[in-house]
Structure 1
Amino acid sequence: MGVIERDPYTGQATTGHEWNGIKELNTPVPRPVYFFLIITFLFSVGYWVLMPAWPVGVTYTKGLLGIDQREILADSLKEAALDRGTWTQRVESESYKDILADKTLMRSVRETGHTLFGDNCAACHGAKALGNKGYPNLTTASWLWGGDPEAIAETIRVGINTAHPQTRTSQMVAFGRDGVLKSGEVDDVVAYVRSLSDPASAKGIDAKKLAAGKALFATNCASCHGDNATGNTELGAPNLTDKFWIYGGDLQSVTDTVWSGRQGHMPSWEGRLSPLDRKILTLHLTDLRNPK
């Protein structure tokens, strides 16, 4: 029988293990550890008895409490459907004006509309609807086909340049590529058009060049964009006097547009979204607009 070695400082027995002069003490496990182990064991036994826990063939132990997460989820979905049904019925039956004026109802519209926009529109127009090159900013007052709720709803329904029989149709002529205007004439028109929204761009440009561009605009462009270049929502022709440009308002971008033309595309959502979802999306977009 070996003699038990004790640590001279603590009086605790050692295990006999030693590393570089450091000896391991054979100290007892602290009592709180046993306490928490016992509590954990009792809790697990109680959980196994009260809650669904063990698989048994094709089923499982149901537990004395009979809690079923599937039933809880189903009840939650039913409750959510009832809550949604309350306000969606109002959205379906009430006018855009009345809905937009109801702060409580618009709170639900914003939540659902934000999700609908993120799932269906953000890929082109951006998560915050600020647009990308070739895709308009939807938070401004500048809309190609009109920015009132009814016009927005119709654009969402039929799309732009789609296969829908009632689609909105719009195309910018390729004045340079198709030989309608000569290269110098394109430059004159571009200079004039850019001066409408950005007068500073006309600094240093010969007045005769701007006058020539104005004359060419009246002959070739005013039929769509209007005599004052403020656009035409019946044709989807943009306002050229504001600072909102779908393809960019810099010299190169405007030149590319006049030379090669443009033909944007907006999907028809009639077969993809229900009338209710399209109305909620319309309300969401109307609510996003910032007149400034």
Structure 2
Amino acid sequence: MSDHEKEIDHLSGVETTGHSWDGLKELNNPLPRWWLWTWYATIIWGIGYWVLYPAWPLVNGYTQGLLGHSNRAEGIAAYNELVETRLEQASGLQSASVEEILGDENMRQFAVAQGAAAFGDNCAACHGTGAAGGEGYPNLLDDDWLWGGTIDAIHETLRVGIRSGHEDERFGNMTAFGRDEILSKEEIETLASYVQSLSGSAPEGADLDAGKVLFEENCVACHGEDAKGMQELGSPNLTDAIWLYGGDRETIIETITNGRAGVMPSWEARLDPLTIKSLAVYVHTRGGGQ
């Protein structure tokens, strides 16, 4: 169609391009000039960015750009600077024992702050964000410790773990008296009644004398004659009504029948010594440390 034969759409009053598809004619509506200039500006900006900043991937790297800027490099530098600052602030903690850290207010506050962050990242999944624990996971606030609640004992437990595979791991097993056919079902029920009585909740009509005999023959070696447990073996105190897995009759029978063997990881290979010290101080100062 020649210039003097330009067709104007009668509905919109806009010139057509001459293209037609199935009776539909294309209108010649050019893009607004402001949009075109914006598009041109972004092209120029993009070319400038490619030249000045890292942009194009290569086989073994990427183009560095004239400015050599790198957000990743800045992030790494900022992290290294933070690490150096923390090391300076914690220089005393590196050489100090956990006992010495507790005795120095400045070091203690720094350790608690660092330990709180490490606890949230590594321990809260099992012990809870508030360290109150849950079924099968010890409450770290109640001053009832299987392996000891002194600062040194807590530090050692964190370092080597419990049944963790560490060469110095803390290791103690609750025997499966039923599964291993050491006691009959009736004897386990009698023993469970006696164990309940130790914390003042024995069922009515229970044969406590028979239960005591069973306890002396099977449990004293680990829990002690007074049933208050032995921290060197990780055996719990049965007289304080604080239960790791539950103190109801059914749970006690289950524990005696199948035993218990909880696991806690060793943090020595996962965390640096300073962080482990800080964790020990934080846990000790949560209120349950001895």
TM-score normalised by structure 1 residue count: 0.73
Could you tell me how far apart the structure 2 residues matched to 1:55 and 1:226 are?
Answer: 69
Could you tell me how far apart the structure 2 residues matched to 1:56 and 1:189 are?
Answer: 73
Aligned residue for 2:172?
Answer: 170
Q: Deviations over 1:132-190 (max 9, x none)?
A: 76554445433201223211112233444577665444333444566665543321221
Could you tell me how far apart the structure 2 residues matched to 1:56 and 1:218 are?
Answer: 75
Percent identical across equivalent pairs? 41
Q: What is the deviation of 1:85?
A: 0.8
Residue identity in the other structure for 2:247: G
Residue identity in the other structure for 1:277: T
Q: Give the 5 Å matches for 1:1-292.
A: 1=1, 3-16=5-18, 24-54=26-56, 62-69=64-71, 71-92=73-94, 93=96, 94-98=100-104, 102-103=108-109, 105-117=111-123, 122=125, 125=126, 128=129, 134-138=136-140, 140-160=142-162, 167-176=169-178, 181-197=183-199, 199=201, 202=203, 205-206=204-205, 208-210=206-208, 212-214=210-212, 216-217=214-215, 220-222=218-220, 224-226=222-224, 229-270=227-268, 273-286=271-284
Q: What is the deviation of 1:257?
A: 2.4
Q: Deviations over 1:175-228 (max 9, x none)?
A: 4566665543321221232355573x73xx31x424543454456435543455
Give ranges in structure 1 of 5+ residues lacking alignment.
none
Q: What is the deviation of 1:79?
A: 0.6
Could you tell me how far apart the structure 1 residues matched to 2:9 and 2:31 are?
Answer: 17
Superposition RMSD in Å: 4.0
SS for the counterpart of 1:277 is helix
Q: Is the 8 A contact 1:100 1:106 kept in 2?
A: no
Residue identity in the other structure for 2:113: R
Give ranges in structure 2 of 5+ residues lacking alignment.
none
Give the direction of change, closer, same or farther, for the CA distance of 1:68–1:159 in structure 2 (3 Å limit): closer
Residue identity in the other structure for 2:90: T
Give the direction of change, closer, same or farther, for the CA distance of 1:278–1:109 in structure 2 (3 Å limit): closer
Q: Deviations over 1:243-270 (max 9, x none)?
A: 5433443434322322344444545554
Give the direction of change, closer, same or farther, for the CA distance of 1:40–1:273 in structure 2 (3 Å limit): closer
Residue identity in the other structure for 1:63: G
**Paired residues, what number?**
282
TM-score normalised by structure 2 residue count: 0.73
Q: Is the 8 A contact 2:188 2:253 kept in 1?
A: yes
